[in-house]
Amino acid sequence: MLLLLLACDRDLDSADSVADTGSSDTGDTGEPGLNYDDGNFLYTTDHILEFEITLDEAAIASLEAVPDEDVVATFQYEDESYEVGLHLKGSPSGSFRTLAEKAAFKIDFHQWDPEQEFHGVRRLTLNNMIQDSTMSHEHAAYWLFDKAGVVAPRHGYARVTVNGEWFGLYGIVETADEELLERHWPGDDEGHLYEGGYGSDLYDWAVDEFTMKEGDEADRSDLAALVEEVEACADGEILALLERNFDIDALLAMWAVELAIADPDGYTTLANNFLLYYAPTLGQWTMIPWGPDQGFDEATSIFTELKGRLAEMCAADAACTEALRQAALGVVDTWESSGFGAFVDQETARIEADCRADPRSEWGDYGCRDEQAAMRDWIDARPAAIRAELE
């Protein structure tokens, strides 16, 4: 068992930190907070955007028969209209819903026109947030990952209408594609991006189980080489292996944030929901969090048995365990200094009315009222609970 010493207090006076959304430029709109040139306006904390989707009868029939195959759709934002590729998203055992329910969408602006973009964005992911009664977990988690120095997708909110019918509040999640790579690895963005989870971990038999998000599907030699090193790693060498292959500070910070927010469905807790990118020029791997929508409501105990092969190996090694403990303490510092609790207060209040009015929510009014309040209470109670556990 690994003891992570997490002690968290909120700084409710950190208004400057909370307001730092990364989208302060006015771009070509003249409106503060919205930069239309790079897609950053999608992820602002100042606005809930409004998108309209139009599907004809043939597209609807196709999505009913083959939900993950693109159909022709019209996407409208304000006075702008685009012909796009659209398909439904989500795992059948989890977040997938049909058009008769609250479907989630993948939108591709250059599916039919390779030159078409939406203010610099080629793809949009609209999450139905059907598994998160607060509609807040993913938004909050990605913000904290970013503040802790972890490469993470950006997140915003939109009201979505389909064929004139309001489908409700959606999470805009930055798509895991070449644009995310271009943003974080400019000039070194031609490597392979893999999605792992549900069995695809760093074992020799699982190399082909990873989903290739970007790169040559037939070439997995970089991943195979990493797995070969992991398979050959002797006792006492895991920390050196991680330092050799990853930005060790960012990797441990990612794991520490997962543990700090009590995410039961992440890499460290279920060997699930993670991306791996290999930057070929840098010669370095990065692990990226994905889908952290289940945190913030587990028991406040800070004892946990780690999952995920690398994390398990780290927990079995004293030096690596201590490094992870220090990373966790660094996340606590970030939690406090960035005003994370104040940010959560601000954002849950901002979306509460839309969340409660969502016509296709499966949680009812209590999810957005009572469960959002419980999330805030969880953050409030965490410091005292941890201190009591450590006394």
pLDDT at 380 over 60: yes
Choose between 301 and 87: higher pLDDT.
87
> In whole angstroms, what is the distance from residue 262 CA to residue 184 CA?
26
Interval 111-136 mean pLDDT? 94
Three-state DSSP class for 106? strand
Helices 137-147 & 340-357, crossing angle to 10 degrees?
160
The DSSP line for 176-208 is SSHHHHHHHSTT---S-EEEEBTTBSSSGGGGG
Among the listed residues 79, 194, 180, the one whose alpha carbon sits nearest the alpha carbon of residue 124? 180
Choose between 33 and 324: higher pLDDT.
324
- Name the least confident of 190-204, 295-309, 319-333: 295-309
Domain map of the chain by residue range? 23-178
- Name the least confident of 189-203, 251-265, 319-333: 319-333
pLDDT on residue 16 = 37
**Mean pLDDT computed over every residue of the chain:** 87
pLDDT at 386 over 70: no
φ, ψ for residue 73 (rounded to 5)?
Answer: -140, 160
Choose between 218 and 28: higher pLDDT.
218
